[in-house]
Amino acid sequence: MTTSIKTAVLPIAGIGTRFLPATKAVPKEMLPIVDRPLIQYAIDEAVEAGINNFVFVVGDHNQGILETHFGTVKNLEKTLKERGKQNELEIISATSKGINSLDFVTQDEPLGLGHAVWCARDYIKNSPFAVILPDDLVQAKPGCMAQMVDVFNNHGGNIVAVEDVPREQTNKYGILDVSNDDGRIATAKGLVEKPNPADAPSTLSIIGRYILDPEVLKYLELKQKGAGNEIQLTDAIAATINTVEFRGLRFSGRRFDCGSKSGFVLANAAFALARGDIDPDFAQMLKSLVK
């Protein structure tokens, strides 16, 4: 796919407290869905969309393991070659397929998603860019980001992936104030971060996929705190609505909230069922567990 979006920011500085003790030693973005870590799904989704430059916003606990995963592990490759494991060699070499550059910046303080994106400003410069939250795993063909890039190529502006949520859950998400909606693309005149259900302008919520105009960086630079006493990315998007058109895309696919234990387990089951190399009786095994 051809696109002017060439850089994606992946904010992954969190410590994954909901998955302790697993995340005591393994960063949450490295937790596997079947046999691939969450971060790999995010990278592959971006590469499919024509994006090949990546900025990881990290803490002080995860850069090394990410460098190992996307880099070359000579001893492992040597062992696999000696044992004739060609398929396995291809699997590990594919982890970096399509990546042109991979850079790291450190988020020293947990000041919110907006602050994490601002930390990557030197790599974004003055070009539109993507933001991908690996916790939000989307099962889709084509991928969610490829669908968004297609909309961006036609319309430009700020674009977010959205889905409708029950009204009682609007206080967990950024919610669009919609001015026009054709059932797939919603044009928004405003955006509210985590509104009370009674005050929510709609039930159309943002998930962890964004294509953003660099204009948002000017507002993030102000470091103004919003909901949760954090620097909210949604506040910066809302501040640009008068100058940058803002749309939400109801993507085609299924989103799994892998920041929750239930969503993570469900994603493993769903992706395993979609694979061709898992035990053919796996679906029946799941049914027997439910019974």
CB 208 within 8 A of CB 132: yes
CB 165 within 8 A of CB 205: yes
**What are the extents of the domains in the chain?**
7-290
User: Residues with Cβ < 8 Å from 200, sequence gap 6 or more?
Assistant: 167, 170, 171, 175, 192
DSSP string, the chain: ---S--EEEEE-----GGGTTGGGTS-GGG-EETTEEHHHHHHHHHHHTT--EEEEEE-SSSHHHHHHHHS--HHHHHHHHHTT-HHHHHHHHGGGTT-SEEEEEE--S---HHHHHHHTHHHHTTS-EEEE-TTEEEE-SS-HHHHHHHHHHHH-SEEEEEEE--GGGGGGSEEEEEEEE-SSEEEEEEEEES--TTT-S-SEEEEEEEEE-TTHHHHHTTT---GGGS--HHHHHHHTTTTS-EEEEE-SSEEEETTSHHHHHHHHHHHHHH-SSS-TTHHHHHHHHH-
Rg (CA), the chain: 19
Q: Give the model's pLDDT for residue 193.
A: 87
User: Residues with Cβ < 8 Å from 229, sequence gap 6 or more?
Assistant: none
Q: CATH number of the domain at 7-290, please?
A: 3.90.550.10
Q: Give the model's pLDDT for residue 2.
A: 61
Q: Give the model's pLDDT for residue 238.
A: 92
Q: Give the model's pLDDT for residue 272.
A: 95
Nearest alpha carbon to residue 53 among 62, 43, 63, 61: 43
Q: Give the model's pLDDT for residue 60.
A: 82
Q: Give the model's pLDDT for residue 278.
A: 87
DSSP string, 6-35: -EEEEE-----GGGTTGGGTS-GGG-EETT
Q: Give the model's pLDDT for residue 1.
A: 60
Q: Which amino acid is at 46?
A: A
Q: What is the mean pLDDT of each run of 10 residues along the chain (291 residues)?
A: 85 92 94 97 97 95 92 93 94 94 93 95 93 97 97 95 95 92 94 91 95 96 87 93 95 96 96 89 88 71
